[in-house]
Amino acid sequence: MTVRTIIEYPHPNLRLVSAPVTVFDEKLKELIRDMFETMYQSQGIGLAAPQIDIQKQIVVIDVSEDHSQPLVLINPKITRREGSTAIDEGCLSVPLDYRAKVDRAEKITIEYFDEDGARQQRDADDLLAICMQHELDHLQGKLFIDYLSSLKKGLYDKKLEKYRRYKRKAENAKKSEHA
C-alpha cells in the first residue's frame, strides 16, 4: 500500500468532474487500498479519488473510530434525500483545518458498485450520510467551501493566501541560509 499525495484547494483538478469506473480489476483494488491508507494516515473519514488527482468516481469512507467499517463506493448516486442537518465539516483538500457548517440531507439512499463490480444500495443517516454527500460532491468538482457565503469564502481565501505567502517567505529564508 502506498500513501498518495492529497491535492489541496485551489488546485484546478479538484474542479474536474470524474469519469465512471468501467473496469473492476486488481489495479482498481490496489488504488482503493492506497486510498484507505492515505485517508487513515491523514486522519480523515472519507476520501474521493479526485483528492489524489485521479478523476474516477471512487470514494472510500470509514466513520468508525477504530477503522473497522471501511466502505467503498464506486460510481455512486444518491437516489433519495430526506430531512436536513448541518455539522462543522472539514476536508483533507482544504488547508488550515478550516471547518464550516454545511446544510446536508439527514438521511439518504445511495446506489453504487463495490470493488468487485456488484451493484449495491444502502440507506445512511447521521455522520455517514453527511460524509457520503461530502465525498460525492468531490466527484462533481465541488468542495464544501462552495456552500459558504461569498463573504465567508472570501475571508477564507484571504487567510489561505496570507498563510501561503508566509510559508513561501519561510522557505526562501531557509534556502538563503543554506546557500
The residues that are catalytic are: 135
Closest alpha carbon to 102 in 63, 134, 141, 139 = 134
Omega prior to 10 cis, within 30 of 0: yes
170, amino acid identity: A
* Alpha carbons 6 and 26: distance in angstroms, whole number: 22
Residue 85's CB: how many other CB atoms inside 10 A? 16
What's the number of CA atoms in the CB half-sphere (13 Å) around residue 138?
33
Quickly tell me which residue has 485521479 as its cell.
Answer: 54
Greatest C-alpha distance within the chain: 60
Q: What's the Rg (C-alpha) of the chain?
A: 17
Residue 47's CB: how many other CB atoms inside 10 A? 28
Answer for the pair 107, 129: CB distance below 8 angstroms, yes or no: yes
